[in-house]
A and B are shown apart, each in its own frame.
Chain A
C-alpha cells in the first residue's frame, strides 16, 4: 500500500524557475526522505528530514515538514535541465518493526525545459 500521495503528478517548467512538489502521508513517522529517479533507474537519496525538524536545506533543495498536517514539500530552486526526473517522498513510520521500511508515494515527474 502507498503511504504518501504526491502532488502534482507531473510538473513542467522552464530552466531557471523553481519547482515545488508536495507529499502527504498517513501515519506518524520517524523521518521523511526525498529521492530522485532518472528514467526508471535506481533511486538517488536527496535529503532526510526527521520528525522533530521543520525545514532542511541542501544546495538548491529545501524541504519542509509539517507533522500536524502530515505533509512535506520539496523546493528545487533555479532548476536545470539535469533536474528532469521523477521525485519520490518516502516515510519511515513509527512503531516497532517499522524502522527502515520505507513507504513511497507515487512520485512527481518533473520536466525542466532548456
Chain B
C-alpha cells in the first residue's frame, strides 16, 4: 500500500472531449509525477510538479496540463482528447529528500 490514490479508476470519453484525472498522495510527498502507459508498453513521463510548480515535462503536447495543490493532491487535465490518449494514467509521489516514487493504482482512460 503506497498511500497514493487516484480517481476515477476507469473513464470513457469521446474524441474531442476534455478529462480531469485526480491523484492524492501522503503528507510530505511534495513531488508528484504523471505517466502515461499504453497497452503493452512501459510508462512514459508526462510531467512533474514540485511545490505546486511544473518541474519538468516529457514529450507531450500542451493539451496535457497539470496542477498540484497544497494538500498534496494533484490533477492531470487533457483537452481535445484523441483516440491515442487511451491508456493507463499513473501518478507517483515522492517524499521530500527521497528518490523513490510511489505509484497510485492508475486511471484507465478509453477514448472512443
**A interface vs B, CB < 8 Å?**
1-2, 4, 30-31, 33, 35, 40-45, 48, 88, 90, 92, 97-98, 100-107
Contacts and interface: CB of A to CB of B under 8 A. Distances in A.
Instruction: Point out which of B43, B94, B100, B106 has the most chain A C-beta atoms below 10 A from its C-beta.
Output: B43
Given A40-B88, A42-B2, A100 B94 contact: yes
Interface residues of B, number: 31
A79 B69 CA distance: 42
Interface of B: 2, 4, 6, 31, 33, 35, 39-45, 48, 55-56, 58-59, 88, 90, 92, 94, 99-106, 108
Contact of B106 (A41, A45, A103): A41
Contacts of A100: 31, 33, 48, 55-56, 94, 99, 101
Contacts of A35: 103
B99 A48 contact: yes
Nearest to B44: A104
Contacts of B40: 106
Contacts of B4: 42
A45 B58 contact: no
